Structure 1
C-alpha cells in the first residue's frame, strides 16, 4: 500500500455522472507526482477528494494508513490563487495556520522566516500582499502550506498565472523545499514541461479516468540544463502525443 492510496474512487456532481470514474492511484512516501489533463477532465476534483475536501461515492482514499474523511492539519494545500489575507504581512500569513491551531512561539517565528528566506523573500517579510508581485505571493502561499511540515502537500495549478521565468524559479524552489522536508506531493498542472521537470511520476486524466502514466527517470536534483536534455524532450513529446490524441 502506498503512502497515498486512491482505490476505485467515483464521484459525481448532480446530474453530471462519473466526474471521477473508478480511479485508482498510489504515491509512495516522499515522491512527487503530477496530474495532467485538459480542462474539465476531473483532475481538480480528484485532488480535492484526496485532500478530504470532497467525499467520493465509492472506493476509498488512505493517507499514511488512515482513511481520508475530512481535511487534516497534516495535509497542506496550495490553490491556484495564493488566497493571502490582505491585512496581514507575509510572515503573518505564513504563521496563520500555527496561530489558528495554538499559541505561537519563537521557534515558529524562526521557521516562518527561514521558509520565506528559502524562497527569496527575506527582505519582504513585513510587506503586505498588495505590495508583493504575483510570484512573491505564490512563494508566501507555499511557505504557509509548509510551516506545519505536512506529511503530504496538494497543489492545484499554483503557478498557472505567472510568467515563464518566475514559474521556473518557483518550480526549483518547490523541489528544494519538499526535498528538505521529505514531503509527499500531488501537483496538478496543464503544463507538460512543468510536470516533466517536477515529477517522479506523471498521470494523464481524461473524462474522469487515468488513461496514461509514466515514471520520469531524470537525474536529481533537477537543474536548469535538465529542461533542455534529450530525455526531457522525449518525455514531453510522449505526454503531448497522449494529450493530443484524437480520442481525447
Structure 2
C-alpha cells in the first residue's frame, strides 16, 4: 500500500469557481522523497496544503496510510518558505516549541533537541536568538524543530528559496541526511529544477492546476555534489525545463 495517496483531487477557492487544481492523482511510498515542480501560481502549494490537511479538497480523496486526511495530523510536520521562528525565544526554545505546546518539557526532550541542533551544526548557537542568525542558520533551526515531532511525513514549501546557492546546496544535503536517518517520507515544493532533481526519487511538473509530466530520478544515494555536473543530471534538468516552458515531449 502506498504511504500517501491523492486521487482525482480538485480544489477551488470558491465552490465550483476559480478552479485551482484539476483531477490531481499522485502516490508516494514510505521513505520516498517526491518533489512538485512548477512556476508560481500553478497550484503546487495548494496541493501541498491539501495533502497536509490544512485545506479540504472539493472532490477526490487524500489518504495517509489508508486513512482519509481531513485535518493536520500529529505525525506530520510542515516547513514553510520562511523559517517562522519566534524572535523572542532562543534557538533551543524554538526547537522545543512543538513539544512545549503539547506538554511539559522533559530532560529527554532537551537531549533530543540538542542532538538535532548538533546534526545541523548549530549546537553552539542554542542560546542565541533568531535575529543573531543568518538566513541559512534560521532554516536549519526550522528543520530541527520539524524533526522534534518525529514526523513520518514531512511537507516543505520552498524552504530554501531565499538563500544563496551555496547555502541552499548545503541545506539540501542536511535535509537528505536527516530524512534518511529517520526514514521520513517527504513531499517538497520548489520552482528550482536542479533542486528537484538533486533531492528527489520522483519529480512531477505542475501547470495550470494539473500534473503534466512526471519522472523517476535515477541517481544513486547518497547524493554527491559531483552529480550536479554529470550528463544525466543536466539532460534531465533540460527536459524538465522544456516541460515547464510548455513544450510537449
Coarse TM-score class (shorter-chain normalised): over 0.9
Q: Provide the C-alpha distance between the structure 2 equivalents of 1:125 and 1:229, rounded to a whole number of angstroms.
A: 39
| SS of structure 1 residue aligned to 2:41 | coil
Aligned to 1:11: 11
| SS of structure 2 residue aligned to 1:70 | coil
Aligned to 1:2: 2
Aligned positions, number = 247
CA deviations on 1:74-121 (whole Å, 9 max, x unpaired) are 110000010000111111101000111122211111111111111111
Aligned to 1:227: 228
24-33 vs 65-74, which moves further: 65-74
Q: Provide the C-alpha distance between the structure 2 equivalents of 1:110 and 1:175, rounded to a whole number of angstroms.
A: 22
Shift of 1:148: 1.4
| SS of structure 1 residue aligned to 2:151 | coil
What stretches of structure 1 move > 4 A for 4+ residues in a row? none
CA deviations on 1:51-78 (whole Å, 9 max, x unpaired) are 0000001011011121100012211000
CA deviations on 1:130-164 (whole Å, 9 max, x unpaired) are 10000000000011111111010000000000000
| SS of structure 1 residue aligned to 2:166 | helix
Q: Provide the C-alpha distance between the structure 1 equivalents of 2:78 and 2:17, rounded to a whole number of angstroms.
A: 26
1:183-222 residue pairs with structure 2 within 5 A?
183-222=184-223
Q: Provide the C-alpha distance between the structure 1 equivalents of 2:146 and 2:67, rounded to a whole number of angstroms.
A: 21
Aligned to 2:110: 109
1:127-138 residue pairs with structure 2 within 5 A?
127-138=128-139
Q: Provide the C-alpha distance between the structure 1 equivalents of 2:60 and 2:184, rounded to a whole number of angstroms.
A: 25
Shift of 1:16: 4.6
Q: Provide the C-alpha distance between the structure 2 equivalents of 1:125 and 1:231, rounded to a whole number of angstroms.
A: 41
1:1-248 residue pairs with structure 2 within 5 A?
1-14=1-14, 16-245=17-246
Q: Provide the C-alpha distance between the structure 1 equivalents of 2:99 and 2:79, rounded to a whole number of angstroms.
A: 16
Q: Provide the C-alpha distance between the structure 1 equivalents of 2:99 and 2:80, rounded to a whole number of angstroms.
A: 19
* TM-score using structure 1 length: 0.97
Shift of 1:245: 2.5
Q: Provide the C-alpha distance between the structure 1 equivalents of 2:193 and 2:17, rounded to a whole number of angstroms.
A: 28
| SS of structure 2 residue aligned to 1:203 | strand
* Structure 2 segments unaligned to the other structure (5+ residues): none
Q: Provide the C-alpha distance between the structure 1 equivalents of 2:96 and 2:70, rounded to a whole number of angstroms.
A: 26
Instruction: Name the CA shift for 1:237/1:245 in 2 (closer, same or farther; >3 Å).
Output: same
RMSD of aligned C-alpha atoms? Answer: 1.1
Q: Provide the C-alpha distance between the structure 2 equivalents of 1:39 and 1:176, rounded to a whole number of angstroms.
A: 28
